[in-house]
Structure 1
Amino acid sequence: MHFHHFCVIFSFFTPVYSYEDYAQVKGCCTLKGPGFKDIEYIILSRFKKHKMMEYNSTRGNWTGFTVYSIEQAKNFNSDPADPLLRGFEKKILCTDNIPSVQTIDNLTVTPTIKMNSVIPSSSRHPAMVVCSAYNFFPKQIRVSWLRNGQVATSGVSCSEVMSDGNWYYQIHCYLEYTPALSDKIACMVEHFTLSEPVLRVLDPSLPEAEQNKIVVGMCGLILSFVFLSSGFIYYKKKSAAYITVCQGQNSIAVEEFNPIEATTQTIQDG
């Protein structure tokens, strides 16, 4: 069942400003049922933080909570013009705003869910996991942590649901825990737009940023090895080009040495 509640508040202060010395009148509309046809209009009057009087359209009368306001409520209830005035207020504040509420109610956006982990500097320090839900509407949402299938209660903290200023909302929930290989950490998100809760399971591998660093480092290491090997091979070839073969007092460079002539000369010398 769809439900909407909105209020209009008027506050009145005494000439000498004081947070304690003020009167406040709040008119609220509660819209329920198909098409929001079930409407309840409530007026609440306060003075110095104390509840004075209340009007409820379901009951159709005023209720007083102090000696003075009880007498005032009796006067309002006996006034034939008061129901007409309350009915006019209900129409202006509640009934006439049903189309706007229906438009807002039809505006639903499924949250985008992201999870990030922070690797601790040592096994003695707890790890931090962050589960974030972005760009969702309506505002009502529930984010909880599961550890090995059980709802985690310790080390859990969540931010308030924050408005993005464009009808959308976001929320961030954190979990501190000591990493263990057997642990299965999951973030569970429940929202009006989801037919069932969505689970995001923590990947025990390194975060993407850390993986990228390792890949870049390995590529650099491989390239260094290739360059080093190429230099070593080039050096060996360069050195071999200047090895000489001695015959008597003559030295012939390998680059200028003809294997066929060398064989013929060796036989003749023999």
Structure 2
Amino acid sequence: MGAGRILGAGSRWAGALLVTLTVLRTHLAHCMEPPEHFLYQTKHECYFTNGTERVRYLYRHIYDRQPLAHFDSDLGVYVVDTELGRPSAEYWNSRPEILAQQRGEADRFCRHNYGVAQTGKMVGRTVLPKVKVSPTKSGSQPHSHLLVCSVTGFYPSGIEIKWLKNGQEQTAGVVSTELLQNGDWTFQILVMLEMSPRRGDVYTCQVEHISLQGPLAVHWEAQSDSARSKMLTGVGGFVLGLIFLAPGLLIYLKNKKGRPVPQPAGLLS
């Protein structure tokens, strides 16, 4: 089941909105002075089951984040959310032309936009996630470390990310950022694991997403400080060897270039 709204289709709501503001102003006049600034919102929601086999349409009215009333296509009438919205809901339910307009929105608005979304490849579209694991030091504890699993560029937003240590799922010390939108219909998220690595430990970031045929696993293996030092020593020795080899090779090539080319013995007189 999904919900969403696509701009560019549907009907005009100016008449209903004007009536709502008029009723609200009348109602508030008997209670208190209206605030200097307020926010009035309307929200369209489409819920689809098995494509467009079953469609439910909701049209919500909200005043300063307080729900007033909403139309439910399953019921065919407006439903009161709070007492402040009761006069509006009763008025709309008494107008057959308003109810007829709203009852047709499941087809006119929801099903229409579902077709538009399919044409634009927004419905049924999937994008594979990119997964990268990298270590970073944590400043909170001197001997603790953080492994960061960066999962980027995936669509849709539903995703499951697990940390494993030597094949065992880790739940303690796992922290996740909020799901972030990239602005191009893709998402990204970071999931971090606090760890105390020992040499030979294998940490795995496992990602499950609808775009994948199976779980995607990216591994990171811990190395001891001595092993890391040996590796750095080897790399340093290799670099120093190149430094000393280069001048000798240049001198050799220079001397070879300056020598006369020997002639075959048969050409000497």
TM-score normalised by L of structure 2: 0.67
Higher relative contact order, chain-length normalized (CA < 8 Å, sep 6+): 2
**Residues 8 and 22 of structure 1, relative CA distance in 2, 3 Å threshold:** farther
CA deviation profile, 1:98-140 (whole Å, cap 9, x unmatched): 123322123211112111123789x952122111122221122
The aligned counterpart of 1:22 is 39
The aligned counterpart of 1:77 is 93
The Cα shift of 1:146 comes to 2.0
The aligned counterpart of 2:66 is 50
* Structure 1 position 96 matched with structure 2 position 115: no
What stretches of structure 1 of length at least 5 have no aligned partner?
Answer: 231-270
Whether the 8 Å CA contact 1:133–1:171 is kept in 2: the answer is yes
Q: How many residues align?
A: 221
* Structure 1 position 222 matched with structure 2 position 241: yes
**Residues 91 and 215 of structure 1, relative CA distance in 2, 3 Å threshold:** farther
2:194 alignment partner, SS class = strand
Whether the 8 Å CA contact 1:53–1:65 is kept in 2: the answer is yes
* Structure 1 position 133 matched with structure 2 position 151: yes
**Residues 213 and 87 of structure 1, relative CA distance in 2, 3 Å threshold:** farther
Equivalent position to 1:39, from 42, 55, 67: 55
* Structure 1 position 193 matched with structure 2 position 238: no
* Aligned equivalents of 2:154, 2:231: Cα separation in 1: 30
The Cα shift of 1:56 comes to 0.6
CA deviation profile, 1:190-223 (whole Å, cap 9, x unmatched): 11112332222222248xx999966642312334
CA deviation profile, 1:29-58 (whole Å, cap 9, x unmatched): 11221x333211101222233222121101
* Aligned equivalents of 1:187, 1:199: Cα separation in 2: 6
What stretches of structure 2 of length at least 5 have no aligned partner?
Answer: 8-12, 26-33, 249-269
* Structure 1 position 60 matched with structure 2 position 72: no
Letter matched to residue 87 of structure 1: R
1:73 alignment partner, SS class = helix
**Residues 156 and 211 of structure 1, relative CA distance in 2, 3 Å threshold:** farther
Between structures 1 and 2, the one with greater strand share: 1
2:122 alignment partner, SS class = helix
Whether the 8 Å CA contact 1:42–1:57 is kept in 2: the answer is yes
Taking only aligned residues, the RMSD between alpha carbons, in angstroms, comes to 3.7
The aligned counterpart of 2:259 is none
* Aligned equivalents of 2:84, 2:186: Cα separation in 1: 45
* Aligned equivalents of 2:235, 2:207: Cα separation in 1: 35
Equivalent position to 1:144, from 137, 162, 178: 162
Whether the 8 Å CA contact 1:8–1:27 is kept in 2: the answer is no
Greater Cα offset, 77-86 or 65-74 = 65-74
The aligned counterpart of 1:6 is 4
Greater Cα offset, 53-62 or 88-97 = 88-97
Bigger CA radius of gyration: 1
CA deviation profile, 1:143-193 (whole Å, cap 9, x unmatched): 221234443233222222223333332222211211123643211111111
* Aligned equivalents of 2:230, 2:101: Cα separation in 1: 68
Letter matched to residue 59 of structure 1: L
* Aligned equivalents of 2:231, 2:184: Cα separation in 1: 34
Whether the 8 Å CA contact 1:158–1:171 is kept in 2: the answer is yes
Whether the 8 Å CA contact 2:135–2:148 is kept in 1: the answer is yes
Identity of aligned residues (%): 25
Whether the 8 Å CA contact 1:124–1:178 is kept in 2: the answer is no
Letter matched to residue 201 of structure 1: H
1:143 alignment partner, SS class = strand
* Aligned equivalents of 2:192, 2:68: Cα separation in 1: 43
Letter matched to residue 32 of structure 1: T
